[in-house]
Amino acid sequence: MTTRTLHLPVSAPDRVESFVEYATLGESVGYEHVWLPETWGRDAVSVLTRIATETSDIGFGPSVLNVYSRSPALVGQTAASLQELSDGRLRVAVGPSGQAVIEGWHGESFDRPLRRTREFMDVVRAVLSGEVVNYAGDIFSLGGFRLRCDPPEATVPIEAAGMGPKSVELAGRFADGWHATVFTPHGFRDRLEDLERGIDLGDRSRDDVTATLSLTAAVHDDGDLARQRCRNHLAFYVGAMGTYYRESLARQGYEDEAMEIAAAVANDEHERVHEIVDDEMLADLAIAGTPEEAHEQLATWEAIDGLDELAISFPRGATHEEVLTTIDALGPEA
């Protein structure tokens, strides 16, 4: 059975307390976990601290922290602190993000992202063990670091984001979970083969790795408005967030559409985007429509074999009330 979780908006809310409101509503209607991304909005750790102290049962964590802007030792310390604050409800997802974000926004060289991700997870786990960390990798070299507090009693799962075959294989081989986004059902199934190959290479069990898909969703009494929100969201990510979303869509059979979207966004042809992201493509990449339509679409996604966790996400441009409506409408106990 697929678990239903939340993947909160990046920067839409006007205030931090809106994130807390989303999380507490999610807890009340049965979501099992709440994820918070970190890109150009509020930092994830501060907001997650508020969520941890204002909720009691729902799991929480970042999805994802990039592996360039913080050291792995600091992330280990942060994870230990959040695990203590939440009485053991934390999961942490990390990933390399992309060149445009890392070099353009953080001023770091986007060098060897897969190796960096693997070593980053190694160091975070070593820190959380409470033992002295002596680590000699190709990217990171540490000596003598040790937590000056008790390590968490409950193990913190360290999960990894990935879109391409090698990054998904890495998640299967070394991480406690794989985080996927902007996937069609067919594309997700293809990458599951890479995940399972990694699991085999790591001599692990499929039960050791949670496969999580973040899926954009908009529920509104005006179904056309919901679909417009999701079309605009997909256009932004494909057209303005580097090349990796386009490359991923190309692998999933939407290469021409991805290139057309990028060109339309570059030329400010926003109406053209709505033509390119037709109903078939939208249904392949999002949940969008009236409550009745959305529930019908939700059942299709949750029936995907091998999908352990479906994280309901939200489009850019969704209002505070629209996010609340979608959370409530798709809640497991709603």
- All domains of the chain, ordered by start, with CATH? 3-221+286-329 (3.20.20.30)
Task: Say if residue 270's pLDDT is above 80.
Answer: no
pLDDT of 174-193, one tens digit each? 999 999 999 999 999 999 99
Q: Quick one: which of 64, 124, 88 has its CA closest to 313? A: 64
* Concatenated DSSP letters of 125-139: HHHHTTS-EEEE-SS
Q: Quick one: which of 237, 328, 224, 321 has its CA closest to 285? A: 237
Kindly tell me the sign of the dihedral angle through the C-alpha atoms of 317, 322, 326, 328: positive
pLDDT of 295-334, one tens digit each? 999 999 999 999 999 999 999 889 999 999 999 999 999 7
51 contact partners, CB below 8 Å, separation of at least 6:
19, 20, 23, 34, 36, 60
Residue type, 55: T
| H/E element, 221 | none
Tokens of 13: 């809310």
State how far the Cα of 186 lies from the Cα of 78, in Å rounded to an integer: 36
Q: 186-204 burial, b for 16+ CB within 10 Å, e for fewer?
A: ebbebbbebbbebbeebee
pLDDT of 186-228, one tens digit each? 999 999 999 999 999 999 999 999 999 999 999 999 999 999 9
Give the range among 101-110, 159-168, 188-197 with minimum mean pLDDT. 101-110
pTM (two decimals): 0.94
State how far the Cα of 26 lies from the Cα of 119, in Å rounded to an integer: 33
107 contact partners, CB below 8 Å, separation of at least 6:
none
